[in-house]
Structure 1
């Protein structure tokens, strides 16, 4: 264990999920790890924040009856030592594409850390649904996260000194399931693919993310260089990202504002 490296570990699947346990065991080999994670599943809550959340002692650290963003704020401001790095995951299920960046609790924890000027890594496991089994029917054990823990531990141990976080606020890492040999790595950008649909059924609306229905490596429409293309083809995707928005100052908006001013005269 490296005494000088402090890591705050959280997730959105809940503190009792196998993904965070696997990461805790792996990261503890290279760092001092403080866990502050949701007491229950908080998937897809984005950067939701609570005004107050109960804290429960847990064998891994602290379970918070709140969201991933709650956990990062509580961990950084109160519950843990000042960390060098925040790690979020490992999520059971991939977080791919631009549209998930504000939706995923896993990624939102990393974004929250960025506002504290603490570098972060968000790690997710791509779990392909095969045959008649849906994603929810696939059971993940500690061994399922072997590839994810290996790359996350490596990044945690070496990324800070490499200078990566001088250019990126956080890394969004998506990892394929282990297949016996270490997967290759591709530096990627988030896919722009978006295909949400809604169907009215009586008084209810069913929302469906159709993107996940097209994850065949031979026919995937996402171009090379994107996170989805890399993971579907069996590679680890690492997207270096900034948080959360940038400003595009341009003359078109300036002209529109000037028209508004003229309108008021």
Structure 2
């Protein structure tokens, strides 16, 4: 690409989050950057969309009272700019594993962009021992931002988006010279469902918004996105047992090794070939 690319920048941590500021600085050195980002934190909303939202002018572009996908939809279809790529991040905390990628607002912005015909890159930051960056103000997002800029520049030049809809990138903040690995999201997920004591919870949970009626009960639904890993707050123990849990070539193995994980994704819902299903469909009759 000979001309400076037009870049739409968003995130899911909110327009005032430290990760997007550093990424904007890096991308501005590469091309023309317009920011359209949520007013408030929208983590975990996936590709949720709203029918109506409020847009506010911002020194960097615009802020939206909506989701990352809303921001992308507005940027790509509500502005008079033909963007070359959408960049989402830098997210506070990794987005790795097939299930997590599916519910991430950071990645959801990229998926929305791909459905609207614009290539995208989602970038998330992690710490190889702290995992999440909390509080984020105490961490340096510059390295993930630099990595994202290089991937944007070289990816557009190399034409990778002829084959790839979206890149999902996880980069460490604490590794001085991390290797960069081509990966795929690891399939690893479980769910805990346990009874809850409604008296110990804030709020009203009855079906009518009041007290629980006969036959109603409250349960906790807890995602176990790193099943079997001891220490939710730190799923990277420095042991061979945990390193061997995740195969080389997966995004989670790259994170255990404090590497940069680059996973190419497609938004096409490709139907797998199934001879068994074809046979079932052929034998079904409706009377």
Same fold (TM over 0.5): yes
Which residue is equivalent to 1:197?
Answer: 192
Q: 1:209 aligns with which of 224, 231, 234?
A: 224
Q: How far, CA to CA, are the matches of 2:174 and 2:129 in structure 1?
A: 15
Structure 1 stretches lacking a partner, 5+ long: none
**Could you tell me how far apart the structure 1 residues matched to 2:59 and 2:263 are?**
32
Q: Number of aligned pairs?
A: 257
Partner of 1:175, secondary structure, is strand
CA contact (8 A) 2:50 2:66 kept: yes
1:254 aligns with 2:278: yes
Q: How far apart, in 1, do the equivalents of 2:256 and 2:91 lie?
A: 17
Structure 1 residue aligned with 2:162: 166
Matches of 1:71 and 1:255 in 2, distance apart?
44
Determine the C-alpha separation between the residues in 2 that align with 1:153 and 1:192: 28
Q: CA deviation at 1:259?
A: 1.7
TM-superposition CA deviations, 1:113-141 (whole Å, max 9, x none): 111111100000113564xxx947x2223
Deviation per residue, 1:28-72 (Å, 9 max, x gap): 011100000111000000111000100011122100000011000
Which contiguous aligned blocks of 4+ residues in structure 1 show a shift greater than 4 angstroms?
none
The CA distance in 2 between the partners of 1:183 and 1:129, in whole Å, is: 14
2:144 is the alignment partner of 1:148: yes
Q: TM-score, normalised by structure 2?
A: 0.84
- Alpha-carbon distance in 2 for matches of 1:49, 1:123: 21
Counterpart in 1 of 2:127?
127
Show structure 2 runs of 5+ residues with no match.
198-217
Structure 1 match to 2:209: none
Q: Contact conserved, 1:197 with 1:210, CA < 8 A, in 2?
A: no
Closer/same/farther in 2, CA of residues 244 and 126 from structure 1, 3 Å limit: farther
Q: What is the match of residue 51 of structure 1?
A: 51
- Matched with 1:239 is 263
Tell me the CA shift for residue 206 of structure 1.
4.8
Q: Matches of 1:210 and 1:188 in 2, distance apart?
A: 18
Shift in alpha-carbon separation, 1:204–1:250, aligned structure 2, 3 A: closer
RMSD: 2.0
TM-score by length of 1: 0.90
Q: Which moved more, 1:218-227 or 1:229-238?
A: 218-227
Q: CA deviation at 1:171?
A: 0.3
**1:156, CA displacement in angstroms?**
1.4
**Mapping of residues 1-265 of structure 1, within 5 Å:** 4-79=4-79, 81-128=81-128, 130=130, 135=132, 138-141=134-137, 144-179=140-175, 181-202=176-197, 203-209=218-224, 211=226, 213=232, 214-218=235-239, 219-220=241-242, 221-261=245-285, 264=286
Look up the SS of the partner of 2:49 in the other structure.
Answer: coil
Alignment partners' CA distance in 1, 2:180 and 2:92: 19
